[in-house]
Amino acid sequence: MVHILLHFIVPALFSFIFYRHMAIKAWLIMMATMIVDLDHLLATSIYYPNRCSIGFHPLHSYIAIIIYFILLSFPKARIVAIGLIIHIILDFIDCYAK
Ligand SMILES: [Zn+2]
């Protein structure tokens, strides 16, 4: 449960610190990146509490993560990329913080 809350709180903090002039908009864009969790629907068992998403689901694969970092270098895609990377980091922490 804490994990899901962090998916809302961390991007919000990030938006207010780094995108103060457009915090709400930045936060909403980052929230939209949660769509990457749709790849869980492709898995045979949609939700598995102890399964690590990283490296398992297509949009949480290492190749996808590399693409998210490449996106950081494009100003127009930067907020999306930050949202995706925050998401991956949180999922990653969730894998090892049990
Ligand atoms: Zn995820």
| Distance between Cα 77 and ligand 1 center (Å) | 19
Q: What is the pLDDT of residue 17?
A: 96
Is the predicted pLDDT of residue 8 greater than 80, yes or no?
yes
| Distance between Cα 66 and ligand 1 center (Å) | 15
Is the predicted pLDDT of residue 77 greater than 70, yes or no?
yes
Global pTM? 0.86
Is the predicted pLDDT of residue 82 greater than 80, yes or no?
yes
| Distance between Cα 4 and ligand 1 center (Å) | 10
B/e letters for 25-52, b = 16+ CB within 10 Å, e = fewer, are ebbebbeebeebbebbeeeeeeeeeeee
Sketch the domain layout of the chain as residue ranges. 2-96
Residues with beta carbon < 5 A to ion ligand 1? 37, 53, 91
| Distance between Cα 74 and ligand 1 center (Å) | 23
Residue pLDDT, tens place only, 14-61: 999 999 999 999 999 999 998 888 877 776 665 666 678 888 888 999
Q: What is the pLDDT of residue 58?
A: 87
| Distance between Cα 95 and ligand 1 center (Å) | 11
